[in-house]
Chain A
Amino acid sequence: MPDPVLQVTDLVKRFGDFAAVNGVSFEIGKGQILGLLGANGAGKTTVINMMLGLITPSEGRIQVFGKDLAAHRIEILRRMNFCSTYTQLPGNLLVSQNLKVFGLLYRVPDLERRIDEVLELLEISHLKKRVSGHLSAGESTRLNLCKALLNRPELLLLDEPTASLDPDIADKVRKAVKRVREEDGATMLYTSHNMRDVEEVCDQVIFMHKGKILHFGTPAEIVAHFQEKSLEDVFIRVARGGDLETAKLVD
């Protein structure tokens, strides 16, 4: 594996007696896209929120770019970014105003030009002067992604970036993600409930279930391991908790 950009070691997050994340360890090499899969409540979003410093781990360690996240949070956040279906940009502001604010927050050089570049990449240049709150769901998702790409992040966390998108827009988003990886060499952690996304975009996949890692491998390896026909069948089997004893928990 190339030099790890992200190393997660024995990560635990407990809310009272409930362990939302329970002993998770993995790493992502430079330029790789790692899919984080699991049913609702598996712990994916909690893992991402811990990587963003929004939730403090109960135990374990997160290292990004070889530095401890807890000790170098701001320095690390400047080099990464995220896009989540659960967040929006202020609806009253114009698209260009929202991107300008976040460009300044991330201290993006040559900001006006960069704003034009990301809008063009996501094919929404024509929306630059539109009010953000008037965008459709697909346009709004692409605007969120523009914000996430503004600072050319070395590590990009994408939490269900294609949720609620029609197949055409979802395809555009996947293509943009792959292009960013190819052109900028960005490393990505990608969560999705859309198995087509995962098969098309991710190099490797982690399956989570009830806060633990169930299996780790390429999409093809995962399918073979569970002896199913497709990643979607694996997902359904894991989500329904069926026959989990046959699946080896990662030590």
Chain B
Amino acid sequence: MNPHVIQALVLRYLFLYTRTPVRMVELLFWPLVHLLVWGYLTVFLQKNTGDSFPYAITFLIGAVILWDVLFRAQQGVAIFFLEDVWSRNLLNIFAAPVTTFDYLGATYVAGLLRAAVTSTILGVLSVILYSFNVLELRWYLVPFVLNLLVFGWALGMISTALIVRWGPAAETLAWATPFFIQPFAAVFYPVDGLPVVMQAFSKALPCSYIFEGMRDVLKDGDLPMRDLVIASGLNVVYLAAAGVLFVSVLKTARDKGLLTKFAAQ
């Protein structure tokens, strides 16, 4: 990876956002909506369930914040590519001295920035509105966030690969892909709350171990290290598989002229 190239690509991304403040609405609006909906729902649950649901407010708000880390990381990768398609700049980038790894590196940084902006704002608001401090997760927050970032990047690469392969008609995958897995990701409920068949799928997703782990930390103050190891191992597999898929689709795109067709549409 060439840091100068990554810097240039990320700079372009920052210029896009600073030049178009309305994009900040897209970046902040939905996370805020989710925080408000889930936050007040849990306030309501807490008031009406009392001691039988003692940690409800913390895990639901924590789930909103951590889910957003995954979602924004995925978006960083997928939207990065689409920005070039929408502005008819795709060929300028792919005909420049930019390797696939430089490009992916820049999308990872973009995802990291998006996740950092929204999770910081959500974290502050959750303290103000619900007296919930995400830092209650202590040092566990670091592996949680890292694992969710990596899985988000992997999902972003998969979304982008499918968009390149299937063309602009598949653009909606940039937003839809994380929600395909959300029901099985144990974001708002535990894995054993799912039917047995779905549990198998859930256990194949690294993020389900993270959300389960978050609930364990908030409930018991401790995390089974085995879960963290499994999540990290699965993430290595997903990231490698997504990388192979992305490189393979780019090769197919160059063989079939898909990049130039994309640029002409």
Interface set of A (CB-CB < 8 Å, partner B): 13, 15, 45-46, 49, 52-56, 74-75, 77-78, 82, 84, 86-94, 97, 100-102, 104-107, 131, 147
Query: Which chain B residues (37-89) contact chain A, with CB distance < 8 Å?
Result: 83-84, 87-89
Across-interface contacts of A131 in B (CB, < 8 A): 19
In contact, B12 and A90 (Cβ under 8 angstroms):
yes
Across-interface contacts of A75 in B (CB, < 8 A): 97
In contact, B89 and A88 (Cβ under 8 angstroms):
yes
Nearest chain-A residue to B91 (Cβ)?
A87
Complex Cα distance, B8 from A97, in Å, reads 10
**Given A54-B94, A93-B16, 11 more contacts at CB 8 Å?**
A53-B95, A54-B259, A74-B97, A77-B97, A87-B92, A90-B15, A97-B15, A100-B11, A101-B9, A101-B12, A105-B5
Across-interface contacts of B254 in A (CB, < 8 A): 53-56
Nearest chain-B residue to A148 (Cβ)?
B92
Across-interface contacts of B172 in A (CB, < 8 A): none
Complex Cα distance, B100 from A53, in Å, reads 13
Complex Cα distance, B15 from A93, in Å, reads 7
Q: Which of B20, B83, B96, B260 contacts A77 (CB 8 A)?
A: B96
Tell me if B142 is interfacial: C-beta within 8 Å of chain A: no
Encode contact with A along B9-38: 1 for CB under 8 Å, 0 otherwise: 101100110011000000000000000000
Query: Given A86-B263, A105-B5, A105-B9, A74–B257 Cβ distance below 8 Å?
Result: no
In contact, B87 and A74 (Cβ under 8 angstroms):
no
In contact, A102 and B83 (Cβ under 8 angstroms):
no
Please name 28 pairs of A and B residues whose Cβ atoms are closer than 8 Å in the assembled complex, sorted by A.
A15-B256, A45-B260, A52-B95, A54-B94, A54-B257, A55-B255, A74-B97, A74-B99, A77-B96, A77-B97, A82-B95, A87-B91, A87-B263, A88-B89, A89-B89, A89-B92, A90-B83, A90-B87, A92-B20, A92-B87, A93-B19, A97-B12, A97-B15, A101-B15, A102-B92, A104-B5, A105-B9, A147-B92
Complex Cα distance, B96 from A147, in Å, reads 11
Across-interface contacts of A91 in B (CB, < 8 A): 87
Complex Cα distance, B253 from A15, in Å, reads 12
Q: Which of A13, A77, A87, A90 contacts B16 (CB 8 A)?
A: A90
For residue B85, give the distance in angstroms from its CB to the closest CB of chain A: 11
Query: Given A55-B260, A56-B254, A92–B16 Cβ distance below 8 Å?
Result: yes
Secondary structure call for the B interface: helix
For residue A45, give the distance in angstroms from its CB to the closest CB of chain B: 8
Tell me if B181 is interfacial: C-beta within 8 Å of chain A: no
Tell me if B98 is interfacial: C-beta within 8 Å of chain A: yes
Complex Cα distance, B259 from A52, in Å, reads 12
For residue A53, give the distance in angstroms from its CB to the closest CB of chain B: 7
Complex Cα distance, B152 from A70, in Å, reads 32
Across-interface contacts of B196 in A (CB, < 8 A): none
Tell me if B7 is interfacial: C-beta within 8 Å of chain A: yes
In contact, A104 and B4 (Cβ under 8 angstroms):
yes
Complex Cα distance, B260 from A15, in Å, reads 13
Tell me if B264 is interfacial: C-beta within 8 Å of chain A: yes
Complex Cα distance, B21 from A177, in Å, reads 38
Q: Which of A15, A56, A82, A92 has the most CB of B within 10 A?
A: A92
Complex Cα distance, B16 from A97, in Å, reads 10
Complex Cα distance, B34 from A7, in Å, reads 58
Nearest chain-A residue to B257 (Cβ)?
A55
Across-interface contacts of B16 in A (CB, < 8 A): 90, 92-93
Nearest chain-B residue to A20 (Cβ)?
B257
Nearest chain-A residue to B90 (Cβ)?
A87
Q: Which of A49, A107, A147 contacts B4 (CB 8 A)?
A: A107
In contact, B260 and A54 (Cβ under 8 angstroms):
yes
Complex Cα distance, B257 from A86, in Å, reads 15
